[in-house]
A and B are shown apart, each in its own frame.
Chain A
Amino acid sequence: MSLVADNKSAVTQTLLDQLQSKSSKVAFMPDAEIISAIRYLEDKGIPNNKHEDYKYCNIEAVLRKEFKSVEQAFNELTKADIAPLKIDEAINLVVVNGNYNEALSEKMIVKGLTVKSLNELSSSEKGLLSSQAKSDTDALIALNTAFTGNGLFLQVDKNNIIPMPLHVIYVNSGNSSNVTNTRNFVNIQASAEATLIESFYNIGTAKVFSNFVSEKFVGENAKLTCYAFQNEGALSYSVNTNQVRINKYSNYTNNTFTLSGELVRNNHNVVLADSNCEAHLNGLFISNGTQQIDNHTLIDHQMPHCESNELYKGIAKDKSVGTFNGKIFVRKDAQKTNAYQSSKNILMSDDATINTKPQLEIYADDVKCSHGTSTGKIDTEALFYLKARGIGEESARKLLLQAFAQELIDKIEIPSLQERVLNLFEKAL
């Protein structure tokens, strides 16, 4: 595969060269798809802050500064490395540096559940891939498509309810700076139901740029409840793209908890493709140091009688930057849509920044849509009230911040995950 010379961005070209010489090829991605992804990348380049959607999140600059050379060298992981990351109540599946690792994953036969690597897809299943995440729409999806690892395929057959949560542990083990492109496909067929936890860790010793793309398909009358647990640490720079399509009478919920990571960009895009379905997106982040947490959501109401709810909260400390950009489309046919969006943030220092940008584009005339955003400092009246009862300044602050986050932490229905989130949240306060 030769690259054209008139590339727009030197960073993109360097990255392409480095990855191309070191990445192993996967069987499931057609060559034509890979070539067109690379063409798109060469044409558009990795987005920088001139790109409207990446105004507060300059990925190109991160790559230029932190990933000048990419070694792609990794440590072998053992079961002992994974053990502390597991969740007891769940079936734990492990994806290492973008590749599904069957040996580290738990094996359990559950009726109606398919778990396999993308390389094992049948030809009809391959057809599903890239149906939601199109590489000609976004440079990071294109990058992922071109250099994707052998990720995970999860399917729940129609009319099956998976009784325990599925927990996918995405773990990086780099011992020199690396870029991983992790991909998965989640297919919840008609009238099926599942809970999926996706945890993101870096237990390597080097900087990682993790470019994750997940396609999720929720069939008619199906239900998918997701949790994203992001705790990748200071060496981690990640872009997580979720391309979700939900169908008639279905219910999709996602709760994202971002507790560490030098840069975390979440693109959560949900298409409500048919009538009477609902989507709930919630997120909580706490950032410190120079961290940058950027949540982008796109809710696309295409058909009537659907509902969407978004609640995002953030606490920005030190010099960290938090961003929420939530777009709601209500298309012409999407009458009787109910769409709500709320973003609330607390700034804990004068040097911290919060950017919020709610966007509503409504083309139907009989809809209920609202959005609200607030950013402020901690409530000084409440702080004084607590102090006036003998509670010290620091404990009082913690109590108030916990209270602020509680409604999101309360949404976690898996006790040990809730405990994990709460512990890390308290530590980060």
Chain B
Amino acid sequence: MISIKNLHASIGDKEILRGINLEVKAGEVHAIMGPNGSGKSTLSSVLAGREDYDVTEGEVTFNGKDLLELSAEDRAREGLFLAFQYPVEIPGVSNINFLRTALNEIRAYHGQEEMPAKDFLALVKEKSKLVELDSKLASRSVNEGFSGGEKKRNEIFQMAMLNPKLAILDETDSGLDIDALRIVASGVNKLKSKDNATILITHYQRLLDYIVPDFVHILYKGRIVKSGGKELALEMEAKGYDEIKKEFEIAD
């Protein structure tokens, strides 16, 4: 699905990613954990195509294509989805209009015709149930006046609508109460299949109780310093990141 090799990225003069290697296959769920400032969000931003970062070294192959050569919109059209840590409020653009535009531009990219309005609305109805999103929210402006939980549910709703191959969930658990977390996690679990993959980026182990990862990676100072199974997340939760910090500080 996605193969990241020796990825280095900086913002201005500051190098944030310093040689990331990661291989994610279809059907897998990977969790990337790490302390604040380790580069988690930078990784998701670089993969999604945010232009604030310079990739200085390394390569990323996504379904056989050179991901780094593609514009942000083409990455999305190729099936990459980033659930934002801080979903952006866009006053004046309705959720529905936004999603219809997105869906149809993705379809056009694949040589498909626009989805008929009736089918589109049926899809909205079906997918909004998945994250228990009030249908009224669909007609409101994108994320405007949404609570923190509604914003995150809206991200998963969009993911359900666009049906990506690879979903990167950037701190989707942050700012969620336990009920919202359950709803979001159950939505993600229902969307999981043998043909798609998920990367969960999180600070805490809590989310991983609900979405169980196949692999857990610890990111520290721009590198993956440790990888393992789901038990690694529990170990981190128990010990905290201090041990990692001590162990890898010297290597800095």
The answer on a CB contact under 8 Å between A388 and B72 is: yes
Q: Does A89 contact B (CB under 8 A)?
A: no
Distance of B26 from chain A, by nearest CB (Å): 20
Distance of B84 from chain A, by nearest CB (Å): 7
Contact (A390, B87) CB under 8 Å given A399-B93, A400-B93? no
Kindly identify which residue among B73, B92, B99, B162 contacts A387, using a CB–CB cutoff of 8 Å.
B73
Closest to B74 in A: A390
Q: CA of A391 to CA of B88 in the docked complex: distance in angstroms?
A: 15
The answer on a CB contact under 8 Å between B98 and A389 is: yes
Closest to B159 in A: A389
The answer on a CB contact under 8 Å between B84 and A385 is: yes
Q: Does A6 contact B (CB under 8 A)?
A: no
Q: Which of chain B's residues have a CB closer than 8 A to the CB of A388? A: 48-49, 72-73, 75-76, 81-82, 84
Most buried by B among A382, A390, A404, A407: A390
Q: Does B193 contact A (CB under 8 A)?
A: no
The answer on a CB contact under 8 Å between A390 and B102 is: yes
Closest to B107 in A: A390
The answer on a CB contact under 8 Å between A385 and B88 is: yes
Q: Which of chain B's residues have a CB closer than 8 A to the CB of A205? A: none
Most buried by A among B48, B72, B77, B88: B72
Q: CA of A359 to CA of B246 in the docked complex: distance in angstroms?
A: 60
Q: Does B248 contact A (CB under 8 A)?
A: no
Closest to A404 in B: B92
Q: Which of chain B's residues have a CB closer than 8 A to the CB of A393? A: 71, 73
Closest to B164 in A: A390
The answer on a CB contact under 8 Å between B91 and A403 is: yes
The answer on a CB contact under 8 Å between A385 and B87 is: yes
Closest to A410 in B: B92
The number of residues on chain B lying at the interface, defined by a beta carbon within 8 Å of a beta carbon of chain A, is 32
Distance of A258 from chain B, by nearest CB (Å): 20
State which residues 122-177 of B face A: CB under 8 Å: 141-142, 158, 162
Contact (A392, B73) CB under 8 Å given A387-B49, A399-B98? yes
The answer on a CB contact under 8 Å between A382 and B77 is: no
The answer on a CB contact under 8 Å between A387 and B90 is: no
Distance of B74 from chain A, by nearest CB (Å): 8
Q: CA of A404 to CA of B141 in the docked complex: distance in angstroms?
A: 12
Q: Does B101 contact A (CB under 8 A)?
A: yes
Q: CA of A393 to CA of B105 in the docked complex: distance in angstroms?
A: 11
The answer on a CB contact under 8 Å between A387 and B72 is: yes
Most buried by B among A384, A385, A388: A388
Closest to B51 in A: A384
Kindly identify which residue among A384, A390, A395 contacts B77, using a CB–CB cutoff of 8 Å.
A390
Q: CA of A9 to CA of B99 in the docked complex: distance in angstroms?
A: 59
B contact residues vs A (CB 8 Å cutoff): 48-51, 71-73, 75-77, 81-82, 84, 87-88, 90-93, 97-99, 101-103, 105-106, 109, 141-142, 158, 162
11 A–B pairs (Cβ distance < 8 Å), ordered by A = A379-B88, A385-B88, A385-B90, A386-B90, A389-B76, A389-B98, A389-B162, A390-B162, A393-B73, A399-B93, A399-B98
- The 8 A-B residue pairs whose C-beta atoms are closest, nearest first, are A403-B92, A390-B76, A389-B102, A385-B88, A387-B72, A390-B106, A406-B92, A403-B93
A contact residues vs B (CB 8 Å cutoff): 379, 381-382, 384-393, 395-396, 399-400, 402-407
